[in-house]
Amino acid sequence: MSQSASRGLVVESVLVPDAPELLDVLSAQAPLLWRRRNDGMVGLGILEKLSFSGKTRIADAGTAWHHIAEEAQVTDHVNTAGSGLIAFGTFAFRSTSAVESVLLIPQLIVGQRAGTNWVTRIRFADVDGDVLTTATALALLTEQMKFSSSLAAEPSVHLTPGAQSESGFTAAVNKAIERIRSGELEKVVLARELEGTLAGTKDLRGPIRRLAESYPDCWTFSVDGLFGSSPETLVSVHDRKVSARVLAGTARRGSDTATDVSNAAELASSHKDLDEHGFATRSVVNALTPYAEQLTVSEAPFTLKLPNLWHLATDIVGTLASGSTALDLVAALHPTAAVAGTPTVTAVEVIDALEPFDRGRYAGPVGWIGADGDGEWAIALRCAQLSGATVTAYAGCGIVSDSIPETELIETEMKFRPIIDALS
């Protein structure tokens, strides 16, 4: 049993006026962040790290979290999404991954949502502490600001292909196309990785700030060394309202307005991309159906403009059936056809056969879970993992029968852009 469940937690959230911008309070050693459009949470200090692995890693995290939440004494004067007791989490893509899946319970959380600012302090119930007031919360924050104000030199890294070379990737795509055409499966998502060694410093606050500022509409996250800006909401749950954003199908941005608009229009009518997208949407709708009532799916995929590319997107909303939590939905949804393929089991076998590396947490769920079961989870895309001094960045593409290997390779280059730019 976790310490947080056996010793119990005391959790206090208070409102604070004029809190600093989240990016200004990030920890230099272990930046813990979940943020989109200025809203989100920063975690400071780790009270407990819970590790999970294997097939039941998400369900096990759900069970462990249930016990912790049940035993916690929570005083929440804020009552907004993300206030009170939360844990940040990141899960490996594969059950066989050597990389651990984790829930991190911070000691201090700074939160910001729709103009409301708060601080949450979490401690073990057997450790004495004064009642948290706005004044003590501000003092804790000021202390933290002093500590984190000096940004060390920026890290530098040169990323080069890892186990999957560019030609290895196009060969793998060719093999996948053959298997799709033989009728073995309909879609598979194949990825490649870039690797490098950080020189100078391991302080990722500069790269994380660049990601957040360049991709404000994406979820910028940093959890246990995994950092990135993902455009894809796997699922979010607030007061039983469920929403998901499915992305699949990609086109490059144009260098001028006319080309840009024509690229988007071409994407919206491309049979290959609409097919690829349809598999992803169906996989999410099928997985959510047992857990949600009144599921509504946006009528036709729309084109979503990101600074580096266009995506086909579908929004799905519904109402959570009672008794389920965001982590239940994460377990049911992962892996969607936006990152695995269709049918899922065959697609994952093909990924195992054609990708010569462990995806780790890339394409896995990343986000946070609250004591009441609400939470926000993205698919970890446009991201990299820092382990020691090694940075590994990942990017993949949905392959269907009429995919062209060289075009898919170019697509991975577009998808590496956020991380390459953030680290340069």
Ligand X SMILES: C=C(O[C@H]1C=CC=C(C(=O)O)[C@@H]1O)C(=O)O
Which residue in the list 12, 48, 186, 232 is annotated as catalytic? 232
Is residue 305 among the annotated active site residues? no
Active-site residue (options: 187, 376, 411, 415):
187
Q: Give the integer Cα–Cα distance in Å for 331 and 349.
A: 19
Q: Is 232 a catalytic site residue?
A: yes
C-alpha dihedral sign at 249, 255, 261, 263? negative
The nearer residue to ligand X, 329 or 397, going by C-beta atoms, is 397
**Shortest approach of ligand X to residue 229 CB, angstroms?**
11
Phi and psi angles of residue 191, each rounded to the nearest 5 degrees, phi first: -125, 170
Exactly one of 40, 367, 398, 405 binds ligand X (CB under 6 A); which one?
Answer: 398
172 binds ligand X (CB under 6 A): no
Please select the residue that binds ligand X; options are 157, 381, 384, 391, rule is CB under 6 A: 381
- Measured in whole angstroms, the distance separating CA 270 from the mean position of its chain's CA atoms is 28
**Cα–Cα distance for residue pair 55/208, rounded to 1 Å:** 31
Residue in 225, 249, 360, 418 binding ligand X, rule: CB under 6 A: 249
Minimum distance from CB of 170 to ligand X (Å)?
15
Site string for ligand X, 56-95 (x = CB under 6 A): ----------------------------------------
Member of 68, 189, 234, 350 binding ligand X (CB under 6 A): 189
**Closest approach of ligand X to the CB of residue 420, in Å:** 13
Instruction: Out of 47, 86, 338, 400, point to the residue binding ligand X (CB under 6 A).
Output: 338
CB 225 within 8 A of CB 384: no
Map the footprint of ligand X across residues 199-238, applying CB under 6 A.
232
Question: CB–CB of 141/110 below 8 Å?
Answer: yes
Q: Which residues contact 195 (CB under 8 A, 6 or more apart)?
A: 159, 160, 161, 162, 390, 391, 392, 393
Among positions 108, 267, 397, 400, the unique one binding ligand X when judged by CB under 6 A: 397
Q: Where are the alpha helices (DSSP H) in 289-370?
A: 326-333, 344-354
Measured from the CB atom, the residue of 249 and 301 that comes closer to ligand X is 249
Q: CA 204, CA 31: separation in Å to the nearest integer?
A: 7
DSSP-assigned letters across all residues of 366-377: EEEEETTS-EEE
Q: Which residues bind ligand X (CB under 6 A)?
A: 189, 191, 232, 247-250, 311, 338-339, 381-382, 395-398, 415
Active site residues: 187, 232
